[in-house]
Amino acid sequence: MTTDQPPASGPARAAVPLPGPPSDADWEKAVAAVAGAEEVVLACHVSPDGDALGSMLALAHALRRRGTRVLPSFAEPFVVPQSLHVLPGRDLLVDPASVPAAPALLVTFDTGSVDRLGSLADRVAAAGEVLVVDHHASNTGYGTLHLVDPAAPATAVLVAELVRRLDVPLDADIAACVYAGLVTDTGSFRFAGTTPATHELAARLLATGIRPDVLGRELFDSHPFGWLPMVGKVLARARLEPAEVGGLGLVWSESRLAELTEHGLAADQAESLVDLVRTAREAEVAAVLKELPDGRWAVSVRSKGRVDVGAACVALGGGGHRFAAGFTAGTSLDGTLPVLRAALAAAPRLDPDTGAPAR
């Protein structure tokens, strides 16, 4: 997850308050804009995960069913992670260099701020309408139309509702893409945001005939052999700091670029490391600091439910959710850890049973 910065000013970028989940009027405006468009540019954040790419491709399939021309894309590096090759619709993707400079309608997915669009960020100010579909609590309110619900467990949930309101039948291609987003951002239905409605949606998706075993294996359980020794090195460096986070405990490790290169691994192969580190029972918060080619560090942070790591990462220039967030640091590893520790110590505490602010 890269740094979330406030959008620059401009008619399509002016931040607006987002007081809560989308209203009926928000849904009506979004449906009218999408249904009335002959061509729609779709964009998700750089280095897309299952929720970002799955959400975008799901709506791309739905709009094509309606006869709409769709141009789905994401900024460089324009490479689909190997784990997401299982998603139907990769052939629909358009190179970012070919995306119109001033689209009539731009729809963005899982993107809390303009800078997360990378080289496609300038399309926001130039577009006639910008529909933002997202579930990040740190969303800056850019765009002209908003379907933003921080209570939604995944952006894909909002896309599924948009597809329903567009009267597009749910087929296997749409369902596979929505399912990828759903299982990615709920941790295969293990995270606190999972609700009865989440499982009801999953049931409707599975009823189309998609294979959860095949999708799950490709999304989570398939790696190049070189991933195994790389993981071994990262886990061997893990450090437990029981006194940090106000005595709730921090466990962290680092991923070195040279180790990815040594084993012929793409950068996305480091994304799941934090889910291994977070299994340490003694720590409430886990973090993995990933070295980037430009010398910066991308930091992924996870909470088990008692610390709002989203607030901590926003304070450090990043963003995310209460239990999963991140930021990018331009300092050294030794310079990043102290500011991370301080932000976590100051982060709001949560009720572990409800996820609401602790009394």
Q: Are 176 and 167 in contact (CB under 8 A)?
A: no
Contacts of 282 (CB under 8 A, 6+ apart): 240, 242, 249, 251
Position 1 scores a pLDDT of 33
Quick one: residue 118, left, alpha or beta (phi over 0 = left, psi -120 to 50 = alpha)? left
Position 5 scores a pLDDT of 32
Position 325 scores a pLDDT of 92
C-alpha to C-alpha distances, 78 to 81, 159, 267, nearest whole angstrom: 10, 23, 13
Quick one: residue 77, left, alpha or beta (phi over 0 = left, psi -120 to 50 = alpha)? beta
Residue ranges of domains in the chain, CATH in brackets: 24-220 (3.90.1640.10), 227-346 (3.10.310.30)
Could you tell me the mean pLDDT of each successive run of 10 residues in the chain, 359 residues long?
A: 32 49 96 98 96 98 98 96 96 97 98 94 98 94 96 97 98 98 95 93 98 96 96 98 98 97 94 96 98 94 95 92 92 94 96 76
Position 236 scores a pLDDT of 98
Position 351 scores a pLDDT of 85
Whole-angstrom distance, CA of residue 96 vs CA of residue 75: 6
Whole-angstrom distance, CA of residue 9 vs CA of residue 29: 23
Q: Where are the strands (E) in the chain, listed by range?
A: 39-44, 69-73, 105-109, 129-134, 145-148, 239-241, 250-255, 285-291, 297-303, 319-320, 324-329
Position 357 scores a pLDDT of 82
Position 19 scores a pLDDT of 54
Whole-angstrom distance, CA of residue 61 vs CA of residue 66: 9
Position 258 scores a pLDDT of 96
